[in-house]
A and B are shown apart, each in its own frame.
Chain A
């Protein structure tokens, strides 16, 4: 999409208003990242890839899918580099460039969720679980403790459906999103 002469950092600056080049690699973001111990690249490493303009490496990096979007890194960055937003932007580019190696279950989760909203206007947890199982292909996974939830009155078989479902469909259409 972007001209080859443009750097990854410029693209991100344009999309988010954040200039990744101001990151001075202090590592404070990574010190507080809850996923640091499970990721090959920690937030400051991703910042580095971006600044070094290693587009392909950044867009196909698995660690960007391990980010919880908890915003801890951005809250603690002493230089307002907003690494959470930068990683978010890298993920978006990764999907757009279709190098996207979005883990199947993460994608399945979002799709299942949005489909629930588009059809009912509200989330129906039981329906959501079924939808997720189908989309992720993980039919046997015990995603939630359904029997325990039922006995505690936490799950219902009936979906709540709002009056304004047409308005919700309109919102999805206007935003150009089809789950």
Chain B
């Protein structure tokens, strides 16, 4: 059992609580222990470091210091923005002159900068063998088997490479590996690491709509049935704003958190994964996939039964043949 300090960040306590719900549900299935960092505070996001470099380091550092004091060596930050800020602070304190010495005074806590920062995709990729085994052992038909899904990484999971470094910044594969572990089919598309305009989600909506539309169109034209994300900001930009992006007559594109996807493959109930909280209704897609999976499993069962029946009939014939003394080479082996 892995045990990590969990840093939910403000989004997972607020607008993206389905990311929190699905993460907790999936972690429990996979035997990963999550302990929420007691009294964690906001990392400051881009407002912190845009306003002041030191503030942009100190706000995330407080949380690293808390995790450290609470006895952990790994922090899980599922929100890509938090992950990026926590990782950037960790790196800055390790490499920039004087920062490490300043921290205890600024924070009012001792701080050794000893904890690693991981994101949710990294955690799931590292658990992909377990995911595969659990999916195979799940009784309900896997609704994701063979379904085309587009892994969308955006900016903050992979850039800058010096800060993130857990995957390739231009051709990342970690989320695709998790998609595969779920039995689904990762789509090869062009916009995996393209920016959705997140920084302007409130102040310059027109840019966000333009960028989001391009991402959704590209995923659609490559056959994706849903886009998988691991960032609350990417999610709200693509989900909440999709209505404003859509052209007439287009099918809406469901946007799922990577943890919701894993939960579905593990047979968890959509309601326990917070799938009812989205703006683009996920219900029609899930209903269709569940039906498809049931049909597939029924067809497989039928094919197996037919094969078994044929084999039995063949064996029967051979028996009859042996009895009638007309046995061939294989017939001779039968008793």
Q: Which residues of A pack against B, CB within 8 Å?
A: 34-35, 38, 66, 68-72, 74-76, 88, 91, 103, 105-106, 108-110, 113-114, 116-117, 121-125, 132, 136, 143-145, 148-149, 152-156, 160, 162-164, 167-168, 170-172, 174-177, 179
Contacts and interface: CB of A to CB of B under 8 A. Distances in A.
Interface stretch (B36-44, B110-118, B299-307, B316-324): B36-44
A105 B206 CA distance: 14
A172 B13 contact: no
Nearest to B96: A17
B55 interface: yes
Interface of B: 10, 13-17, 39-42, 44-48, 50-52, 54-55, 58-59, 62, 105-109, 155, 159-161, 169-170, 193-195, 197-200, 202-204, 207, 211, 240, 276-279
Contacts of A124: 10, 14
A109 B202 contact: yes
B45 to A, nearest CB: 7
Contact of B197 (A34, A123, A164): A34
A117 B51 CA distance: 13
Given A117-B44, A167-B107, 16 more contacts: A34-B207, A68-B195, A70-B199, A74-B159, A88-B50, A105-B202, A110-B51, A113-B47, A122-B10, A122-B41, A136-B203, A145-B279, A149-B15, A155-B14, A162-B40, A167-B109
Contact of A145 (B46, B54, B193, B240): B240
Contacts of B108: 167, 170
Nearest to B41: A121
B15 A38 contact: no
For B46, B109, B204, the residue with the greatest tally of chain A CB atoms inside 10 Å of its CB is B204
Given A109-B202, A145-B240, A68 B197 contact: yes
B277 A174 contact: no
A75 B197 contact: no
B16 to A, nearest CB: 7
| Interface pairs A-B: 7 shortest CB-CB | A70-B195, A123-B10, A71-B159, A113-B47, A110-B47, A175-B55, A121-B41
Contact of B62 (A66, A106, A163, A171): A171
B58 to A, nearest CB: 5
A74 B169 CA distance: 11
Contacts of A175: 52, 54-55, 58, 106
Contact of B279 (A125, A148, A156, A172): A148
